[in-house]
Chains A and B, each alone.
Chain A
Amino acid sequence: MDLLSDYIIHLADNALILGHRNSEWTGHGPILEQDIALSNIALDLVGQSRNFYQLAAGRLSELTPGLTISEDDLAYLRDVNEFRNFVLLEQDNGDWAKTILRQFYFSIYQYLLYKELLASKYPAIAAISEKSIKETRYHVKWSSEWVVRLGDGTPESHRRMLDARQELNPWISELFIPVDFDYEAAATGAGILPDTLQEEWFQRVNHVFESAGLPLLSFEKKNMHILSGKKGVHSEHLGYLLEEMQFLQRAYPGSNW
């Protein structure tokens, strides 16, 4: 397997899985405006994932003579252990606070990552990052406002933010732990090592937590789990997600709009 393709697929899977989770709110948002907001963020993320999948599919097809792989093959015909997204992103939506916090954590991560990838020596990765970062900046803004609104809102909303942190915090450390494809990406200049983003990520998250009246967050190594989405070792949630997301292509292979 080509490690650089894995790296690109990891970027794609992150965007697709969170995009899919967000799309589950469509028609169920607490108020219409926010239902629309989350659906639009889902759309941005799925769009970004398509760009990365197309890139990976082209690369894999080139590397494997006689084999043509499409973006749909990658999104719809891989199983749980082949997905390379963070475990954080496949967690169930929970309540609004949990969905907001997950989005906030990931948007800040994605923003910092894209900022570095603008200088990627792999021109297509740089181009997708240049396109995506403008959308991600907006997601950071929106989700930060919500973290403050909930954290600094009512005792109930504050409590829910604390609960959401409790549930999601175990999955933070994975964002910063490099795996084989990160090393390859960094060595070739296509990508970066994620641990280089850690310090600024905590600064930015804590800056918002401060305005939200929430306790500050520190990196806890003890949070490290045996699960690693980047290595294909996922939580139980991903299987259920894929079952729904991939249903059509699995039941009716090759079907098209």
Chain B
Amino acid sequence: MNKEQIIDILSEVKDPEIPVLTISDLGILRNVVISGDLIQVQITPTYSGCPAMDVIREDIRELLAKHGMQHVEIEQVLSPAWTSDWMTETGRQKLEAYGIAAPALHGCLLSGDDRPESCPLCHSKNIEMISRFGSTACKALYRCIDCQEPFDYFKCH
């Protein structure tokens, strides 16, 4: 099996906390290196303490074992540091459809304009922040003033 095929298989691995996204959508699957019968999978965490990482490691191991690959090393890479800009366009669309606002693109960190573009439910731009922190480290909590629904925002990071 070559690198592309393995990456293809690994694209099935889901983020346990946002199960509509795969590790490829999130941009946390960084690389696969094959040396002989050893397969090294490089992943990077979204946040340092992301509890999903341990589950993701297990899932990668299990999935590759199912495809007959037993000799697997999973390496955590910290640099370059993950940014929400690495989320794919497909990932962003899936996230919005799931009811979570997609992260603002990168300039936000410099401009300080880290906020969702619109409400993922009714698409109104009339929104306000409830809390800088949401149900997981990667999310903040917002409210739509028009449809009055609260919603999660995947933070620009």
B131 near A44 with CB under 8 A, answer no
A131 near B137 with CB under 8 A, answer no
A-side binding surface: helix, strand, loop or mixed?
helix
> A123 CA to B50 CA in the complex, in Å?
22
A138 near B132 with CB under 8 A, answer yes
Residue of A nearest to B77 (CB): A127
A50 within 8 A of B: yes
B133 near A44 with CB under 8 A, answer no
B130 near A33 with CB under 8 A, answer yes
B78 near A44 with CB under 8 A, answer no
A82 within 8 A of B: no
User: Which residues of A lie under 8 Å from residue B47 when comparing CB positions?
Assistant: 43-44, 47, 135
A-facing residues in B11-52 (Cβ within 8 Å):
45, 47-51
A120–chain B nearest beta-carbon distance, Å: 11
A47 near B133 with CB under 8 A, answer no
B141 within 8 A of A: yes
B79 near A44 with CB under 8 A, answer no
Question: Given A37, A124, A131, A138, which contacts B81 in the complex, CB threshold below 8 Å?
Answer: A131
A9 within 8 A of B: no
Residue of A nearest to B157 (CB): A134
B68 within 8 A of A: no
A17–chain B nearest beta-carbon distance, Å: 15
B-side binding surface: helix, strand, loop or mixed?
loop
A128 within 8 A of B: yes
B131 near A130 with CB under 8 A, answer no
B135–chain A nearest beta-carbon distance, Å: 7
Residue of B nearest to A42 (CB): B49
Interface residues on chain B, number (Cβ under 8 Å): 24
B49 near A141 with CB under 8 A, answer no
> A110 CA to B82 CA in the complex, in Å?
19
B49 near A130 with CB under 8 A, answer no
A249 within 8 A of B: no
B50 near A40 with CB under 8 A, answer no
User: Which residues of A lie under 8 Å from residue B134 when comparing CB positions?
Assistant: 36
User: Which residues of B lie under 8 Å from residue A142 when comparing CB positions?
Assistant: 132-133
0/1 interface trace, chain A 39-52, chain B, CB 8 Å (1 if under)? 01111111110110
> A9 CA to B65 CA in the complex, in Å?
36
0/1 interface trace, chain B 125-157, chain A, CB 8 Å (1 if under)? 000001111111100010000000000000101
Residue of A nearest to B132 (CB): A142
B132–chain A nearest beta-carbon distance, Å: 5
A15–chain B nearest beta-carbon distance, Å: 9
B113–chain A nearest beta-carbon distance, Å: 13
A211 within 8 A of B: no
A27–chain B nearest beta-carbon distance, Å: 15
B78 near A131 with CB under 8 A, answer yes
B-facing residues in A10-65 (Cβ within 8 Å):
19, 33-34, 36-37, 40-48, 50-51
User: Which residues of A lie under 8 Å from residue B132 when comparing CB positions?
Assistant: 37, 138, 141-142, 145
Residue of B nearest to A51 (CB): B48
Of all A-B residue pairs in the complex, the 3 with the closest CB atoms, nearest first, are A47-B49, A47-B48, A127-B79
Q: Assuming A40-B137, A145-B132, what are 6 further A-B pairs, CB within 8 angstroms?
A: A36-B131, A44-B137, A47-B50, A127-B79, A127-B81, A142-B133
Give me the interface of B with A, judged by CB distance under 8 Å.
Answer: 45, 47-51, 78-83, 109, 130-137, 141, 155, 157
